[in-house]
Amino acid sequence: MKKKAHLTLAFILILLVSVLAGMWPVNLVAANPDLSNLVLAMPEEYINYTIIRVNGTLWAKIDGTYPIYLLSVSKGGSQCAPVDELPMVYPIPPGTTNIHIKMNETELDWSNYPYETHHTAIGDWSMIYCVVSPVSDFFVLKIHYEHPVQVINGSYVFLYDLNIREYLSPWSPNSTAYFTIRMEITALDLKAYTTKTDSIWNSIDYTTRQDGATEVITLHIYSEYSKPLLGDLAITFSVAESETTAVPSWVLIPVLLIVALLAVVVYRRRKRRKINFHLQT
């Protein structure tokens, strides 16, 4: 039985149809036996990052929105083709927590996927598993998760696993990933890269603006069918030394109050000593 279960899992992995930010959907439904006719399309996706400091540690909060179309392709062209279930696996960075997956605002259950890890340019990631059901010919998938920002070679680094190849086809030849990154810390020497390997990182441009005290970085990655893909997005940066050792305000305020009270006490004692000295003389 165990051998049969392992063979079934191997068959599932072979049938992985696509990757959505590292999420692979698989159709296992007998109602749609001809998987070669199934095409997934995602002309655009939106990924929002927020980088914050929590108890001295930098964290990334990610919210991704993915509008997905399911097409059935035949000699006469393509048409919408709903399926009953769409199992998925999704790679997660080390220390990921607070995971929420929604389909059209409906929360989906998920579990850890113990059978395989996913290789990225900054390490091997574990994966989670969920099933999208029921699936229409168009739906919006959303995922939220949070993870500590890694420190690699003295720099802060976070990576977004952008695998779009299986969403590109002659029927949906283009896709654009729009990134918005809110830096609620003071970031220095921020750089953006695309990378497909551990060693080759290609620098890309980004735009930046201020929203109050928050720096907002925006960029996009355009992918096109039958052309080389740019790979995952990686962001590196550093923070000011004073910020890494900064004492929280909730600690400073009581300390300042105590210092002020001590100063008043010392001042009054000295004043009383002067008055007593004059009275004695």
Confidence at 5, pLDDT banded by 50, 70, 90: very low
In terms of Cα–Cα distance, which of 266, 225, 46 is closest to 144? 46
Q: Is the pTM of this model over 0.75?
A: no
pLDDT in tens, 236-264: 999 986 554 444 554 445 545 664 667 66
The continuous run of DSSP H or E covering 265 comes out as helix 249-280
Q: Please check the confidence at residue 222 and state whether its pLDDT lies above 50.
A: yes
pLDDT per residue over 178-221, tens digit each?
Answer: 999 999 999 999 999 999 877 789 999 999 999 999 999 999 99
The predicted-structure confidence for 108-137, as pLDDT tens digits, reads as follows 999 999 989 999 999 999 999 999 888 788
Which 3 state secondary structure label does DSSP give 168?
Answer: coil
Within 10 angstroms of residue 212's Cβ, the number of other Cβ atoms is 7
Q: What ranges do the domains of the chain cover?
A: 2-244, 249-281
- pLDDT-derived band at 35 (thresholds 50, 70, 90) equals very low
Block residue for tokens 């990610």: 62
Give 183-231 as a DSSP string.
E-S-EEEEEEEEESSSS-EEEE--EEEEETTEEEEEEEEEEETTS----
Can the peptide bond before residue 134 be classed as cis, meaning omega within 30 degrees of 0? yes
Q: What average pLDDT does this structure show over 34-46?
A: 79
Q: Which band of pLDDT confidence, cut at 50, 70 and 90, is reported for residue 20?
A: very low
- CATH architecture entry for 2-244: Sandwich (2.60)
Composition of the chain by helix, strand, coil, percent to 5:
20, 55, 30
Which span out of 39-43, 56-60, 103-107 was modeled with the highest average pLDDT? 56-60
Element (H, E) at 66: strand 57-74
The region of weakest confidence among 39-43, 64-68, 167-171, 260-264 is 260-264
pLDDT tier at 271 (50, 70, 90 boundaries)? low
Residue (of 73, 162, 87, 80) closest to 121 by Cα position: 162
Q: Does the pLDDT value for residue 146 go beyond 70?
A: yes
Please give the Cα distance from 255 to 50 (Å, whole number). 31
Res. 15 pLDDT band, cuts 50 70 90? very low
Residue 274 tokens, joined: 């002067």
DSSP 131-154: EE-S--SEEEEEEEEEEEPEEETT
Residues 162/21, Cβ–Cβ less than 8 Å = yes
